[in-house]
């Protein structure tokens, strides 16, 4: 089997320990949703053998079989939902049975990553963590973080002007720095900061090795292997797991320890952990640490995707940048920076943000939701234990709603339309996932990304660079084999401050 196929299956959380499901008497059902014909035992493994991204494959199956498709791998059912109606009905309205996550020996036992909410089943601990997140990331808490957003935004823009080629690293530092302030009251001053590095390392092994790049772990197919000692031939995975487990624990412990030290020194911070230590949050220390860590880890790749797509859009569509700058100059002027109170008066930047999320779709397929009971949808049997995935990319490229869907055209959100159509067009209904598992960071990024984008266009000119012959260098984009996030490959652009005033405002960090 090719590695890309394994990547996709691992990203879905498909192990083989569920072989019994295939052999169970309920497997033969005429009412399962349609899909590509499976092989005996192996199921649809060969259908996943493709160099294409999972969302592109899923869209092809939709074209062939319909909006709801069903595939199996080693007996594990996988349901793809390709329209808004199915997603809303199953993942939202029937959330009580569609909110579990798959359980994998490598992820949940050997590494203990289930302590992060993202891998946690639908249980009591999940509910405790979600409640804690609501406290920190709910809409009423966000204004308290505005000063941190302004500081991190100014720092990002200075970094970008100094070295535009490293825009991905600057974005990672921006996202990580903001979360370190919000969660721990910690200020990261440079990209080499140890807490930023730790988060980067954990994100890299979680996304590229534990649940993806190395493919399906044999221990997930044969759980008995978890007893294999690390020193035995084939036991290398145990050593890796032990190191990853230790590193994730460091990520949970060390920034938290920093908050504790601040607290012991009598320093009060506006932060999740600071608040918890001051008695403002009633929870066990372990829950606080791992909830903070979950939020920290959840923010980075999606922010990199959003910022990369925005940069790509404005260098590719210079008329959009010109229109944005005209709006800002007219409403805000050039003597100060735009701020949150200006937001209602800047409709075009609003449309650009919506279009960035529609066109970019940071996570084109949501994380797998596991259905815990047999269910029926539109006359089709949704089998208990199936992993249910929404093809968010297909929903946001639906030509019947978004004409010229592959074009970046913010105006589509400003045109007069039937309110029902406008409601269907709202990308935030989809990009943050669904129901009880919907992204808890949505309100935070709604504010932080808005400020980042509006400040960029107010202060910077960004454009495609020229080569030595004076010819424009066009971005050459691919999306690699990442099965979770849609991040365009690195591209080049030039950037400079629009005015000396803008440079001064940014240098003073306001």
List residues forming the annotated binding site. 439
Are 142 and 182 a contacting pair, CB within 8 Å? no
Query: CB 356 → ligand HEM: shortest distance, Å?
Result: 9
| Residues 115-174, interacting with ligand HEM (CB under 6 A) | 117-118, 137
Instruction: Rank residues 22 and 402 by Cβ distance to ligand HEM and give the closer one.
Output: 402
Instruction: Rank residues 22 and 430 by Cβ distance to ligand HEM and give the closer one.
Output: 430
Q: Minimal CA–CA distance to 90: which of 359, 426, 368, 362?
A: 368
Query: CB 302 → ligand HEM: shortest distance, Å?
Result: 3
Reading phi first (left if > 0) and then psi (alpha if -120 to 50, else beta), residue 103 is in beta
* Own/partner pairs, 396-405, CB within 8 angstroms, 24+ separation: 396/358, 396/359, 396/361, 396/427, 396/430, 396/431, 397/59, 398/83, 401/425, 402/358
Query: CB 137 → ligand HEM: shortest distance, Å?
Result: 6
Instruction: Rank residues 82 and 325 by Cβ distance to ligand HEM and give the closer one.
Output: 82
Instruction: Rank residues 136 and 325 by Cβ distance to ligand HEM and give the closer one.
Output: 136
- Burial label for 472, CB within 10 Å (0-12, 13-18, 19+), is exposed
Residue 105: CA count within 13 A, CB half-sphere: 18
Instruction: Rank residues 16 and 102 by Cβ distance to ligand HEM and give the closer one.
Output: 102
- Burial label for 350, CB within 10 Å (0-12, 13-18, 19+), is middle
Neighbours of 286 (CB within 10 A): 11
Contacts of residue 107, defined as CB under 8 A and 6 or more positions apart, other chains included, come to 13, 113, 114, 119, 210, 211
Binding pattern for the stretch 430-449 against ligand HEM, x by CB under 6 A and - elsewhere: -xxxx--xxxxx--xx----
Binding pattern for the stretch 196-225 against ligand HEM, x by CB under 6 A and - elsewhere: ------------------------------
What is the C-alpha to C-alpha distance for residues 428 and 438, in angstroms, rounded to an integer?
11
Instruction: Rank residues 169 and 461 by Cβ distance to ligand HEM and give the closer one.
Output: 169
* 363 forms part of the interface with ligand HEM (CB under 6 A): yes
- DSSP label of 39: B
Q: Minimal CA–CA distance to 118: which of 268, 386, 299?
A: 299
Task: With contacts defined by CB under 6 A, name the span among 61-69, 263-271, 294-302, 460-468 that binds ligand HEM.
Answer: 294-302
Instruction: Rank residues 117 and 149 by Cβ distance to ligand HEM and give the closer one.
Output: 117
Instruction: Rank residues 129 and 325 by Cβ distance to ligand HEM and give the closer one.
Output: 129
Instruction: Rank residues 45 and 297 by Cβ distance to ligand HEM and give the closer one.
Output: 297
- Burial label for 332, CB within 10 Å (0-12, 13-18, 19+), is middle
| Residues 295-324, interacting with ligand HEM (CB under 6 A) | 295, 298-299, 302-303, 306
286, two tokens: 């372990």
Query: CB 354 → ligand HEM: shortest distance, Å?
Result: 12
Among 164, 176, 185, 362, contact with ligand HEM (rule: CB under 6 A): 362
- DSSP label of 73: E
Query: CB 502 → ligand HEM: shortest distance, Å?
Result: 26
Greatest Cα pair distance in the chain: 73
What is the C-alpha to C-alpha distance for residues 102 and 109, in angstroms, rounded to an integer?
12
Binding pattern for the stretch 84-113 against ligand HEM, x by CB under 6 A and - elsewhere: ------------------------------
Binding pattern for the stretch 378-417 against ligand HEM, x by CB under 6 A and - elsewhere: ----------------------------------------
- Location of structure tokens 């500081």: 151
415, two tokens: 């045109």
User: Residues comprising the binding site for heme?
Assistant: 439
Question: In 138-193, which ranges are continuous DSSP H helix?
Answer: 146-162, 167-184
Question: In 185-344, which ranges are continuous DSSP H helix?
Answer: 194-205, 218-221, 236-264, 272-277, 285-298, 300-316, 318-331
Query: CB 412 → ligand HEM: shortest distance, Å?
Result: 19
Size of the site for ligand HEM (CB under 6 A): 26
Among 171, 366, 386, 455, contact with ligand HEM (rule: CB under 6 A): 366
Among 12, 45, 367, 395, contact with ligand HEM (rule: CB under 6 A): 367
Query: CB 196 → ligand HEM: shortest distance, Å?
Result: 15
Contact positions toward ligand HEM, by CB under 6 A? 117-118, 137, 294-295, 298-299, 302-303, 306, 362-363, 366-367, 369, 431-434, 437-441, 444-445
């Amino acid at each position: 089997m090719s590695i890309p196929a394994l990547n996709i299956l691992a990203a879905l959380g498909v192990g083989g320990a569920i072989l019994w499901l295939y052999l169970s008497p309920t497997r033969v059902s005429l009412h399962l949703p349609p899909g590509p014909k499976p092989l005996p035992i192996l199921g649809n493994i060969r259908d996943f053998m493709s160099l294409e991204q999972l969302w592109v494959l899923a869209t092809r199956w939709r074209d062939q079989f319909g909006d709801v498709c069903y595939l199996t791998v080693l007996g594990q059912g996988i349901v793809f939902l390709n329209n808004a109606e199915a997603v809303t009905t199953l993942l939202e309205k029937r959330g009580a049975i569609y909110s579990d996550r798959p359980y994998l020996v490598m992820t949940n036992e050997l590494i203990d990553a289930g302590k992060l909410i993202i891998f946690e089943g639908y249980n009591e601990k999940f509910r405790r963590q979600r409640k804690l997140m609501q406290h920190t990331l709910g809409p009423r808490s966000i204004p308290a973080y505005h000063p941190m957003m302004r500081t991190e935004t100014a720092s990002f823009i200075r970094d970008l002007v100094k070295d535009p080629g490293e825009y991905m690293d600057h974005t990672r530092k921006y996202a990580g720095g903001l979360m370190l302030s919000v969660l721990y009251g910690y200020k990261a001053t440079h990209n080499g900061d140890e807490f930023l590095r730790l988060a980067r390392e954990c994100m890299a092994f979680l996304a590229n090795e534990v649940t993806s790049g190395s493919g399906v772990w044999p221990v997930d197919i044969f759980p008995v292997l978890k007893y294999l000692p690390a020193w035995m031939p084939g036991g290398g995975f145990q050593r890796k797991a032990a190191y990853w487990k230790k590193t994730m624990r460091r990520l949970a412990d060390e920034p938290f320890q920093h908050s504790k030290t601040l607290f012991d020194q009598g320093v009060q911070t506006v932060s999740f952990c600071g608040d918890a230590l001051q008695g403002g949050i009633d929870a066990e220390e372990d829950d606080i640490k791992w909830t903070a860590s979950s939020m920290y880890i959840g923010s980075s790749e999606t922010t990199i995707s959003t910022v990369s797509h925005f940069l790509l859009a404005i260098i590719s569509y210079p008329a959009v940048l010109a229109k944005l700058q005209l709006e800002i100059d007219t409403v805000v002027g050039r003597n100060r920076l735009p701020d949150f109170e200006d937001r209602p008066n800047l409709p075009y930047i609003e449309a650009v943000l919506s279009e960035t999320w529609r066109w970019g779709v940071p996570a084109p397929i949501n994380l797998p939701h596991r259905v815990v009971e047999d269910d029926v949808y539109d006359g089709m049997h949704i089998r208990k234990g199936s992993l249910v995935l929404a093809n968010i990319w297909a929903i946001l490229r639906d030509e019947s709603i978004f004409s010229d869907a592959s074009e970046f055209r913010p105006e589509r959100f400003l045109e007069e339309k039937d309110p029902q159509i406008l409601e269907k067009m709202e990308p935030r209904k989809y990009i943050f996932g669904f129901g009880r598992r919907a992204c808890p960071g949505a309100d935070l990024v709604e504010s932080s990304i808005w400020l980042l984008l509006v400040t960029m266009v107010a202060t910077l000119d960004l454009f495609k660079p020229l080569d030595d012959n004076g010819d424009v260098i066009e971005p050459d984009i691919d999306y690699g084999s990442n099965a979770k996030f849609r991040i365009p490959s690195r591209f080049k652009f030039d950037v400079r401050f629009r005015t000396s005033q803008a440079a001064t405002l940014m240098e003073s960090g306001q």
